[in-house]
Each structure stands twice: as C-alpha cells, then as structure tokens.
Amino acid sequence: MAVDEHKDWKMDKKTVELEFARNSLREELEAINNYGARIAETENPELKRVLIHNMDEEKEHVAMLVEWIRKNDATQDKVFKEHD
C-alpha cells in the first residue's frame, strides 16, 4: 500500500492535505516506537544518547502535526476540546 494512496482521487485539496498530515503523524509515531525499541536494546551509551535525542525530536514533530490538524480540521479540534 503506497503512502498517500488517495492523492489522485477526486478529493478536494484540503482533504488531500489532511491525509498527508495524518499519514505523516502515523509515521512520526512509528518512528518514536522504533527509537524506543532500539534505545531499550542497545548497550552502547553514546548510541543510546543519540537515539533518545532523535526520539525526542520525533515527539516535537508529532506535536507540530497535531497542531496543524487541529487548525485545519474543525471536528478534530472540537473533539480534542470536548472529549470525555
């Protein structure tokens, strides 16, 4: 399955952009999980420090994407504010 597989469908630009952002968010979350697994496995302290630094940067990327999605998807923003 290709990334952004729906981009050639008859979707408006905003819908395509939201799909790009959600796919990017998923990839950032997967990266955090991958870094976490490697941090747990490595016994090299210098490599562990680099991986932790990189993992923390991915968390910043998650925050940036969530903010963008909230700004561009009114329903998503609303449920962030109102969920139980």
**Interaxial angle between packed helices 45-72 and 13-41, expressed in degrees from 0 to 180 and rounded to the nearest 10:** 160
Nearer to Fe ion, 28 or 73 (CB): 28
Smallest gap, in angstroms, from Cβ of residue 69 to Fe ion? 15
Residues of this chain, 44-83, that bind Fe ion according to CB under 5 A: 58, 61
Q: Are 36 and 55 in contact (CB under 8 A)?
A: yes
Nearer to Fe ion, 62 or 73 (CB): 62
Q: Are 40 and 49 in contact (CB under 8 A)?
A: no
Site map (CB under 5 A) of Fe ion, residues 19-38, x = contact = ---------x----------
